[in-house]
């Protein structure tokens, strides 16, 4: 057991901290399975830092308040280069140096948390609170995979680490979608979402919300652990912590300015939000010499980027009908540039949100965009002259069925399970790249398939014939046969993808892989009683109930039977999707890079594509999936057009690289 624990801890480190796994997910899972077996035989030997012990048992009554060993200070801000220069001047004056060495780091937009280790084991995690006193959230912190339960090096002294708890944009959006389906209020941004998640009394809920922890300060017995801040960061990595890789040792003000300018744009390609850059004096001796004010250290400053906001007019408020029938109001905006992207729509979440904003059609509003997050309306800036209130339609705008709002619910829903809007959304979900990956089944095509009655359920996709497809608009024989081939190929998609594709409430990509691994076949999953479903990792009563409910509906049972007859894979094969595949979103895709890229060098782009499982070649052929074109792209672009190979820009590539940083 001790050997398995150590090995598993090592592989978690390779995976979560260094991002360089050495073994397959299947091998990792097998090891974890073996450890669980042994622990079941000898519960008395279960170590508190065993990798199986991240999620503890009972919910708590409340959080205990704990005083910090020393105050968790905040940072002074600089909003422009002059204020940054003032900071540098102050530091130079106080230290009598002509040039100071700084460390520049990203300012992650989350909440700070101090974590204490005693004899190398995670002993206590405390939120910032008011800086003096925080709350003990140890049980929840243990569920954060990138936070080690045990240090990688023996520590004779008391170790305290400070850092930021964050949530990625993708996880934030997944969570909000899930909450919308359940009529729960939306989180406003990833930071609130992370803060809410770390303060939940039930640790298994925190566990289901994949949080991350990035460390930025290290203390041994209450004192700084190194002579240079840069070394402390390296020591943190050696101890097993994730430290944000986007950091740099900078010479003087000029170096810091360069880093700041670089990230002003690059930050958009990050998988999480930052609200600026932190510039810190590298020498700890100088830090001590500079000291702190009551509120913030004099040796660091937060350079804040201007929020990506813009004002525009709401031309109309439309309503979208989602896969579960939920009606979501959407603001149609006078197109406006926000952070280099044209925005013409913003989500309004639900009726209550519109009321909260006091928004009417015609109003001038402030909108905000950050990272990949869907633009949102921050507030009404000026009421429109001929403003008119938004009225939620009483009938589904698509199928005309009366909409209902359950008592206590926020959202209105179209309850017609055959509503074309719902069907279209389910088909798009089913065929998604990370789901059944049916390339070529885009929105325009799905509209036609549903409107012409060719597809009434996702199972009908497998009955489509060439001549039916070929006569659709913008569809030649060639694309029709490609589409059929892609539909055919999806039959052998791994079980996890199929489970995800079914669109069961709360069952996203990750839960689907867990279920596939746990049950091994769709039939076993479909037949499992609630209690058995809850045995699967990270599956709580709510999720279990949703799964049970799904398979209890005759309509869904019929769907499953039709998918079986269509020859889809119901059993977990040897090459399943585990942690690995989530890391290889570009598997099987060949790219050609041409022209000058702006955000990254070509070699860097190539390396990232390869790291994500893709291939990069020099010549455009029919096998090329995407040509990524930068400025002044030449003949390769012509070749791509000739062969009908899709050409994308750098921003699209960044998006494809997706949740990988």
**DSSP string across 62-100:** SPPEEE-SS------EE-SHHHHHHHHHHHHHHHT-SS-
Q: Look at residue 569 and give its three-state secondary structure.
A: coil
623 is written with which tokens?
């096998």
Q: Which of 52, 112, 370, 576 binds ligand IVH (CB under 6 A)?
A: 112
Member of 46, 73, 201, 315 binding ligand IVH (CB under 6 A): 73
Beta-bridge mates of residue 334? none
| Smallest distance, ligand IVH to C-beta of residue 258, A | 18
Shortest distance in whole angstroms from residue 267 CB to ligand IVH = 13
303 binds ligand IVH (CB under 6 A): no
Q: How far is residue 280's CA from residue 171's CA, in Å, rounded to a whole number? A: 30
From the CB of 599, what's the least distance to ligand IVH, in Å?
21
- 3-state DSSP of 214-227: EEEEEEECCEECCC
Token pair for residue 544? 């279990």
Scored b (16 or more CB within 10 A) or e, 402-426 reads ebeeeeeebbbbbebeebbbbbbbb
The whole-angstrom distance between residue 585's C-alpha and the CA centroid of its chain comes to 14
User: Is residue 645 close enough to count as binding ligand IVH by CB under 6 A?
Assistant: no
DSSP 130: T
Token pair recorded at residue 242: 């994730």
Give min distance, CB of 206 to ligand IVH, in A: 19
CA atoms within 13 A on the CB side of 54: 23
The least CB distance from residue 80 to ligand IVH, in Å, is 17
5 binds ligand IVH (CB under 6 A): no
Give the contact letters, 264-293, x = binds to ligand IVH (CB under 6 A), - = no.
Answer: --------------x---------------
- Site stretch for ligand IVH (CB under 6 A), options 228-236, 296-304, 335-343, 526-534: 296-304
164 binds ligand IVH (CB under 6 A): yes
512 binds ligand IVH (CB under 6 A): no
- Among 75, 354, 411, 504, indicate the residue that binds ligand IVH (CB under 6 A): 75
Instruction: Map the footprint of ligand IVH across residues 566-605, applying CB under 6 A.
Output: none
β partners of residue 116: 124, 160
- Using CB under 6 A as the binding rule, whether residue 68 contacts ligand IVH is answered as no
Q: Quick one: which of 375, 373, 403 has its CA closest to 109?
A: 373
Q: How far is the CB of 274 from ligand IVH (least distance, A)?
A: 8
Q: Supply the minimum distance, in Å, between the C-beta of residue 111 and ligand IVH.
A: 6
Interface stretch with ligand IVH, choices 7-15, 92-100, 105-113, 430-438 (CB under 6 A): 105-113
How many chain residues touch ligand IVH (CB under 6 A)?
13
Nearer to ligand IVH, 30 or 306 (CB): 306
With contacts defined by CB under 6 A, name the span among 36-44, 73-81, 198-206, 353-361 that binds ligand IVH.
73-81
Provide, rounded to whole angstroms, the least separation between the CB of residue 540 and ligand IVH.
Answer: 29
Site for ligand IVH contains 135 (CB under 6 A): no
Answer yes or no whether residue 105 interacts with ligand IVH by CB under 6 A.
yes
Query: Which range touches ligand IVH (CB under 6 A), out of 102-110, 376-384, 531-539, 558-566?
Result: 102-110
Is 302 near ligand IVH (CB under 6 A)? Answer: yes
Say if residues 377 and 334 touch (Cβ distance below 8 Å).
Answer: no
Mark the segment that binds ligand IVH (CB under 6 A) among 20-28, 229-237, 294-302, 590-598.
Answer: 294-302
Q: Rounded CA gap, 462 and 558, in Å? A: 15
If one asks whether residue 150 binds ligand IVH (CB under 6 A), the answer comes out as no
Q: Return the range that interacts with ligand IVH (CB under 6 A); candidates 15-23, 81-89, 100-108, 177-185.
A: 100-108
Nearest residue to 210 (alpha-carbon basis) of 500, 16, 5? 16
108 binds ligand IVH (CB under 6 A): yes
- Minimum CB separation of residue 263 from ligand IVH in Å reads 12
* 297 contributes a contact to ligand IVH by CB under 6 A: yes
Which residue carries 């095509």 as its tokens? 445
Give the binding range for ligand IVH (CB under 6 A) out of 68-76, 263-271, 487-495, 560-568: 68-76
Beta carbon nearer to ligand IVH, 108 or 144:
108
Identify the three-state secondary structure at position 133: strand
Shortest CB 260 distance to ligand IVH, Å:
13
The verdict on 229 binding ligand IVH (CB under 6 A) reads no
**How crowded is the C-beta side of 540, counted as CA atoms within 13 Å?**
14
CA–CA distance, 411 with 429 (Å, rounded to integer): 21
The helix (run of H) or strand (run of E) holding residue 304 is strand 300-304
Cβ closest to ligand IVH, residue 216 vs residue 303: 216
* C-alpha closest to that of 363 among 311, 309, 313: 313
- Least Å from the CB of residue 76 to ligand IVH: 9
* Rounded Cα gap, residues 30 and 455, in angstroms: 41
Interaction between residue 500 and ligand IVH (CB under 6 A)? no
Strands 590-594 and 615-617 come out as parallel
Point out which span in 52-60, 79-87, 295-303, 369-377 binds ligand IVH (CB under 6 A). 295-303
Q: Which of 54, 107, 210, 500 binds ligand IVH (CB under 6 A)?
A: 107
d(CA 200, CA 177): 19
Measured over the CA atoms of residue 53, residue 150, residue 74 and residue 188, the dihedral's sign is negative
CA 240 vs CA 15, 104, 143, 146: distances in Å: 11, 21, 15, 8
According to DSSP, the β-strands at 300-304 and 77-78 are parallel
Indicate the residue whose CB is closest to ligand IVH.
Answer: 112
Q: Are 114 and 66 within 8 A, CB to CB?
A: no
| Residue from 300, 321, 423, 633 binding ligand IVH (CB under 6 A) | 300
| Catalytic position from the list 36, 58, 65, 107 | 107
For position 165 contacting ligand IVH by CB under 6 A, the verdict is no
Give ∠ CA 624-629-633 in degrees, rounded to 5: 110
Residue 138 Cβ, how far from ligand IVH at the closest point, in Å?
Answer: 19
Q: Which is nearer to ligand IVH, 277 or 528 (CB)?
A: 277
Is 636 in the active site? no
Whole-Å CA distances, 123 to 134, 139, 198, 200, 375: 15, 10, 16, 19, 40
Half-sphere exposure of 641 (CA within 13 A, CB side): 6
Check binding of 321 to ligand IVH (CB under 6 A): no
Cα 307 versus chain centre, distance: 20
Q: Locate 255 and state its tokens.
A: 């170096």
Residue 484 interacts with ligand IVH (CB under 6 A): yes or no: no
Residue positions annotated with a catalytic role: 107
Binding site for ligand IVH (CB under 6 A): 73-75, 105, 107-108, 112, 164, 216, 278, 297, 300, 302
């Amino acid at each position: 057991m001790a050997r398995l624990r150590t090995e598993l801890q090592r592989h978690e480190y390779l995976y979560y901290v260094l991002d360089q796994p050495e073994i397959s997910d299947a091998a990792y899972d097998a090891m974890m399975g073996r450890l669980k077996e042994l622990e079941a035989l000898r519960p008395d030997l279960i170590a508190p830092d065993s990798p199986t012990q991240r999620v503890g048992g009972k919910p708590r009554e409340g959080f205990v308040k704990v005083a910090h060993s020393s105050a968790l200070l905040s940072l002074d801000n600089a909003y422009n280069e002059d204020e940054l220069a003032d900071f540098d001047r102050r530091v130079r004056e106080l230290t009598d140096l002509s040039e100071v060495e700084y460390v520049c780091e990203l300012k992650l937009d989350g909440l700070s948390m101090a974590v204490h280790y005693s004899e190398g084991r995670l002993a206590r995690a405390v939120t910032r609170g008011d800086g003096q006193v925080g709350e003990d959230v140890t049980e929840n912190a243990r569920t954060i995979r990138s936070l080690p339960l045990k240090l990688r090096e023996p520590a004779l002294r008391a170790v305290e680490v400070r850092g930021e708890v964050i949530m990625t944009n993708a996880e934030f959006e997944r969570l909000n979608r899930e909450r919308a389906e359940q009529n729960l209020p939306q989180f406003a941004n990833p930071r609130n979402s992370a803060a809410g998640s770390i303060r939940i009394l039930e640790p298994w809920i925190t566990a289901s919300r994949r949080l991350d922890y990035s460390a930025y300060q290290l203390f041994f017995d209450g004192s700084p652990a190194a002579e240079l801040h840069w070394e402390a960061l390296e020591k943190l990595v050696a101890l097993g912590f994730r430290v944000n890789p986007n950091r740099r040792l900078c010479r003087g003000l000029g170096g810091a300015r360069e880093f700041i300018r670089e990230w002003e744009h690059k930050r958009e390609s990050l998988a999480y939000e930052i609200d600026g850059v932190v510039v810190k004096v590298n020498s700890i001796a100088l830090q001590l010499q500079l000291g702190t004010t009551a509120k913030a250290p004099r040796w660091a400053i937060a350079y804040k980027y201007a929020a990506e906001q813009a004002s525009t007019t709401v031309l109309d408020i439309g309503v979208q009908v989602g896969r579960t029938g939920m009606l979501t109001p959407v603001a149609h905006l006078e197109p406006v540039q926000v952070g280099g992207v044209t925005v013409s729509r913003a989500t309004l979440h639900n009726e209550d949100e519109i009321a909260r904003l006091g928004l009417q059609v015609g109003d001038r509003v402030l909108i905000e965009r950050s990272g990949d997050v869907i633009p949102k309306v921050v507030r009404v800036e000026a009421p429109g002259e001929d403003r008119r209130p938004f009225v939620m339609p009483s009938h589904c705008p698509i199928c005309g069925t009366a909409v209902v709002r359950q008592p206590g619910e926020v959202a209105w829903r179209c309850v017609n399970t055959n509503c074309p809007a719902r069907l279209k959304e389910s088909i798009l979900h089913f065929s998604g790249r990370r789901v059944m990956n049916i390339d070529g089944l885009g929105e325009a095509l799905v509209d036609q398939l549903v409107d012409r009655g060719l597809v009434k359920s996702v199972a009908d996709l497998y009955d489509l014939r060439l001549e039916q497809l070929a006569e659709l608009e913008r569809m030649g024989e060639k694309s029709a046969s490609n589409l059929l081939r892609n539909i055919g190929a999806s039959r052998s998609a791994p079980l996890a993808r199929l489970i995800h594709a079914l669109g069961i409430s709360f069952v996203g990509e990750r839960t689907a892989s867990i279920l596939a691994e746990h049950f091994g076949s769709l039939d076993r999953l479909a037949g499992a009683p609630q209690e058995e479903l809850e045995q699967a990792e990270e599956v709580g009563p709510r999720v279990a109930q949703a799964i049970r409910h799904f398979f209890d509906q005759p309509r869904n049972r019929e769907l499953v039977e039709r998918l079986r007859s269509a020859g889809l894979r119901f059993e977990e094969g040897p090459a399943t999707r585990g942690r690995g595949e989530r890391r290889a979103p570009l598997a099987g895709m060949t790219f050609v890079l041409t022209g000058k890229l702006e955000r990254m060098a070509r070699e860097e782009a190539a390396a990232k594509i390869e790291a994500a499982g893709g291939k990069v070649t020099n010549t455009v052929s029919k096998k090329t999936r995407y040509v990524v074109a930068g400025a002044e792209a030449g003949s390769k672009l012509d070749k791509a057009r000739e062969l009908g190979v899709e050409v994308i820009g750098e921003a699209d590539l960044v998006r494809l690289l997706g949740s990988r940083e």
